[in-house]
Amino acid sequence: MSDYDVVIGLEVHAQLQTNTKLFCGCSTAFGAQSNTQTCPVCLGLPGALPVLNSKAVDMAIRTGLALNCSITTPNQFARKNYFYPDLPKGYQISQFDRPICEHGWVDIELDQGGQRVRICRAHLEEDAGKNMHQTGVGVSHVDMNRCGMPLLEIVTEPDLRSSDGAVVYLKTLRDTLVYLEVCDGNMEEGSMRCEPNVSLKPKGQEAFGTKVELKNINSFKFVKHALDYEIQRQAAVLTDGGKITQETRSWDPERGISVVMRSKEEAHDYRYFPEPDLLPVEIPEETINALRDRLPELSKAKCERFITEYALPPYDAALLTSSRPLADYFEACVAGFQNPKTVSNWVMGELLHALKNDNIDVGSSPMKPDRLVALMTLVEDQTISLKTAREIFLDLFRSQQAPADFVQERGLTQISDDGALETLIDDIVRKHPSQCAEYQGGNEKLLGFFVGQVMKSSKGKANPQKVNTLLQQRLASEKVAT
């Protein structure tokens, strides 16, 4: 295997988060009953005419700009002709020789250093419907709800050199799409789909080998599995002196193998031609500039800013900026509590733990930033101990209560009042005359014993630092008295 260089290029279909489809007003909501979100346009009924969704165009441009692409104007839609039961028009409206975005790149971080992955194009196209085969009964159904859903197909140059690199690229791309709020990035639900192309060539050889395209991959894990399997398969064929057939293979996650879907001989001739029902899309310079100005800060820039602005360790910054809602949550907390590292500890620790535990995403956290700020403040002003705060976190998280009320109701307020603490201390010192004498005789380790006793008698509510100071004073004064 090490006799070969691996070459990988990726085609990603990102479903754009518009409310309506690419060429009609039908809803894009997920999970509706079959064939309830259709109209003459997306069903391809005779005479129906497509109207381009300008939101989808904006999203494509924003993505293109974030991926360092140039924006093609005018860009143009084209018909990609083929027959399939889930394609009622008999053609898909896509883009061919004038895609909306071209010639960009994505920088990724690999263990062995940074790499620039070139994007050759990103184009708009409509999705097809969904065939559903009822196994065993010889019946198939088709759901047209997905017909006409807006997709952006993002295609890389064959720049990747390993399955790990492919996964890092995909995750980086997903982060960007999610940050831009153009796609939810959910591979399991199919709103981000990936088709890797892979080939091998003898080490050092310049010319690329014959590629195989992999389909039906619906998680990051399967991207790696499918590529590793394909790399091994091709290496075995080549080592045996065989030739790779250019083909499309489908990944079967259950069996952990890929099977041939179609070979080059069966490849489609799509007979692309310009879509006569849609004008070329002119994009004024001002539109591009306005969209560029409104691009959000992306994860890499945000991570760097978190390190400089909040003096966070790189580990914290990377984790907190791994999603935009999480980064927003953190910043909302920092706005109300001026110790970023303390906020980071709570967010990365207790908060993420509780979210994971209850399977909630940060955007819907019942513990809103203002309540976490209130909790941190209770610790800061010594109303409760850090230990207590940690212990009550999960219950507090699940409740709707203000932390101050929660703590009050359960009598968890820390005793910091000197008078109250002195009474407790007095009692303990009196009860342990022999330990007291031993301490005064020089066994200062016994201080821990006394602190422990006072904490116990206060049911853990005494402020340990104060107890420590007051006890030392008390034991010293006892000595003078004797």
Part in contact with ligand ADP (CB under 6 A); list of ranges 77-85, 138-146, 177-185, 197-205: 197-205
Q: Indicate if the alpha-carbon torsion angle 311, 313, 319, 321 is positive or negative.
A: positive
Is residue 6 near Zn ion by the rule CB under 5 A?
Answer: no
* Residue 207 or 480 having the CB closest to ligand ADP: 207
Which listed option, ligand ADP, Zn ion, none, makes contact with residue 334 (CB within 5 to 8 Å by class)? Answer: none
Is residue 211 near ligand ADP by the rule CB under 6 A?
Answer: yes
* Residue 198 or 412 having the CB closest to ligand ADP: 198
Is residue 24 near Zn ion by the rule CB under 5 A?
Answer: yes
DSSP 323: S
The helix, strand and coil proportions of the chain, stated in percent and rounded to the nearest 5, come to 40, 20, 35
Question: Taking Cα atoms as reference points, which of 183, 151, 146 lies closest to residue 31?
Answer: 146
Cis peptide before 74 (omega within 30 of 0): yes
Question: Is the distance from CB of 87 to CB of 60 less than 8 angstroms?
Answer: no
Question: Taking Cα atoms as reference points, which of 294, 198, 283 lies closest to residue 244?
Answer: 198
Which listed option, ligand ADP, Zn ion, none, makes contact with residue 8 (CB within 5 to 8 Å by class)? Answer: ligand ADP
Q: Where are the alpha helices (DSSP H) in 321-445?
A: 324-336, 340-346, 352-357, 369-380, 386-398, 403-409, 418-431, 433-440
Is residue 7 near ligand ADP by the rule CB under 6 A?
Answer: yes
Interface pick for ligand ADP out of 4, 9, 37, 151 (rule CB under 6 A) = 9
Interface pick for ligand ADP out of 28, 75, 197, 385 (rule CB under 6 A) = 197
* Residue 77 or 406 having the CB closest to ligand ADP: 77
Q: Report the phi/psi class of residue 204: left, alpha or beta, with left for phi > 0 and alpha for psi in -120 to 50.
A: left
Shortest separation between residue 95's beta carbon and Zn ion, angstroms: 20
Which listed option, ligand ADP, Zn ion, none, makes contact with residue 208 (CB within 5 to 8 Å by class)? Answer: ligand ADP
Question: Is the distance from CB of 62 to CB of 289 less than 8 angstroms?
Answer: no
Is residue 56 near Zn ion by the rule CB under 5 A?
Answer: no
Measured distance CA(170)–CA(147) in Å, rounded: 25
Measured distance CA(58)–CA(48) in Å, rounded: 24
Residues near 444 by Cβ (< 8 Å), separated by ≥ 6?
A: none
Is residue 42 near Zn ion by the rule CB under 5 A?
Answer: yes
Question: Is the distance from CB of 127 to CB of 184 less than 8 angstroms?
Answer: no
Question: What is the CA 239 to chain-centroid distance, rounded?
Answer: 39
Considering only residues 132 to 161 of the shown chain, the ones binding ligand ADP according to CB under 6 A are 155-158
Part in contact with ligand ADP (CB under 6 A); list of ranges 84-92, 130-138, 196-204, 349-357: 196-204
Which residue's CB atom is positioned nearest to ligand ADP? 9
Part in contact with ligand ADP (CB under 6 A); list of ranges 8-16, 163-171, 172-180, 393-401: 8-16
Which listed option, Zn ion, ligand ADP, none, makes contact with residue 156 (CB within 5 to 8 Å by class)? Answer: ligand ADP
Shortest separation between residue 7's beta carbon and ligand ADP, angstroms: 4
β-strands 247-252, 212-215 pairing: parallel
Which listed option, ligand ADP, Zn ion, none, makes contact with residue 467 (CB within 5 to 8 Å by class)? Answer: none
Is residue 180 near Zn ion by the rule CB under 5 A?
Answer: no
Is residue 177 near Zn ion by the rule CB under 5 A?
Answer: no
Is residue 208 near ligand ADP by the rule CB under 6 A?
Answer: yes
Is residue 235 near ligand ADP by the rule CB under 6 A?
Answer: no
Question: Is the distance from CB of 263 to CB of 245 less than 8 angstroms?
Answer: yes
Which listed option, ligand ADP, Zn ion, none, makes contact with residue 42 (CB within 5 to 8 Å by class)? Answer: Zn ion
Which listed option, Zn ion, ligand ADP, none, makes contact with residue 211 (CB within 5 to 8 Å by class)? Answer: ligand ADP
Part in contact with Zn ion (CB under 5 A); list of ranges 42-50, 132-140, 245-253, 360-368: 42-50
Is residue 149 near Zn ion by the rule CB under 5 A?
Answer: no
Measured distance CA(379)–CA(156) in Å, rounded: 51
Which listed option, ligand ADP, Zn ion, none, makes contact with residue 224 (CB within 5 to 8 Å by class)? Answer: none
One-character DSSP codes across 147-212: TT-EEEEEEE-S-B-SHHHHHHHHHHHHHHHHHTTS----TTTTSEEEEEEEEEEETT--S----E
* Residues within the interface to ligand ADP (CB under 6 A): 7-11, 155-158, 197-199, 208, 211
